[in-house]
Structure 1
Amino acid sequence: MPTIRRAEDRDLDAILAIHNHAIAHSRAIWTDEPVDRREREQWLADRHAAGHPVIVADVDGIVAGYATYAPWRVKSGYRYTVEDSIYLDDAFHGRGIGTLLLSELIRLARAAGMRVMLADIESGNSASIRLHERLGFTRAGFLRQIGTKFGERLDLVILELSLEDRSTRPS
């Protein structure tokens, strides 16, 4: 059973490898250039400084995946809306680790007072879409051909999850 815990500096090499593998081999991250360790060090420091969690799934000392959330937009009016990111090492797909990571991320966002979590997912990533829908996300939008990767035009599915208890939410 994986342990879900806060990411530490010692996890950066594994996070970097998972991230760069997703850049090189998937349509999950819409950029073509891998990042270096310095970029991931700054990314982790920035997330921690902003109070945005970065968590990992640790399976017997191996980082099987990581997840985080960050502001969806930078304008202050969006300060209670976050976007999640979840990436797994290919060797750990299909073991329920994504569910554990996303469930914990949702719990942390609620505890931090966030109101809405969004997921922007490439339309062909049916596993990620199903994961989010299993945890209560609903489809909020579909944007055609707004991204490009591997010379292909990509569509984006936007999913949303209310993090508030609707019975106590102000009208």
Structure 2
Amino acid sequence: MHIRNATSADLPALLDIHNDAVRTLKAIWTDKLDSLEDRRAWFDARKEAGLPVIVAETEDGTVAGYGSYGPFRTKEGYRLTMEHSVYIVPGARGKGIGKALLLRLIDLARADGYHVLVGAVDGENTASVALHQACGFEITGRLPQVGMKFGQWLDLLLMTQVLDDRPVPGDV
């Protein structure tokens, strides 16, 4: 497996992975499938903002997963906090690809000068919770029944990792 920066040529694979998650997982709290144009707009906005979009590529060149991070919230006071996402193709889940992508995102966020990385996880997703904990995240909040999908209320777990030990905030 090789982790690299995503390119526009990866957009069809990113779209397939994203839409599979929308259809089958509680990880993305929407029922709306993206179009290729939606994914391109998302990708272009990330790149324009200097934010990473990375992919895990198998030996045969297949994209098996992707990850990215973006602003946790839009107000200036949150500018050193990013929220990440990692998604894996169904047949490759549980094989270490998500962990490799998440660890790379942590390294990139540190290198970019961010202070905290946030994961927003479905409260029932024990595999994602375990993955985040294995990568140094802690559960720092539970928001009960704030979302819904597949006809049920969903709890949102906030998992965070402080990336540095600076005593006072600085700019990125």
Task: Establish whether TM, by shorter chain, passes 0.5.
Answer: yes
Q: Shift in Å at residue 120 of structure 1?
A: 0.6
Q: Which residue of 2 aligns with 1:156?
A: 156
Moved over 4 A (4+): none
2:136 equivalent in structure 1: 136
- 3-state SS, counterpart of residue 12 of structure 1: helix
Count of aligned positions? 167
Task: Give 1:94 deviation, angstroms.
Answer: 1.6
Structure 2: give runs of 5+ residues left out of the alignment.
none
- Normalising by structure 2, report the TM-score: 0.96
- State the partner residue of 1:81: 81
For 1:52, the equivalent position in structure 2 comes to 51
Residue identity (%) = 46
Matches of 2:62 and 2:88, distance apart in 1: 12
Counterpart of 2:31 in 1: which secondary structure?
coil
Amino acid at match of 2:67: A
1:95, CA displacement in angstroms?
Answer: 1.2
Output the aligned Cα RMSD. Answer: 0.7
Letter of the 2:46 partner, please give it: R
Q: Which residue in the other structure is 1:18 paired with?
A: 17
* Cα displacement string for residues 88-143 of structure 1 (whole angstroms, at most 9, x for unaligned residues): 00111121111110000000000000000001100111111110000110010001
Structure 2 SS opposite 1:102: helix
Q: 2-side partners of 1:141 and 1:87: how far apart?
A: 22
**Residue 123 (structure 1) aligns with:** 123
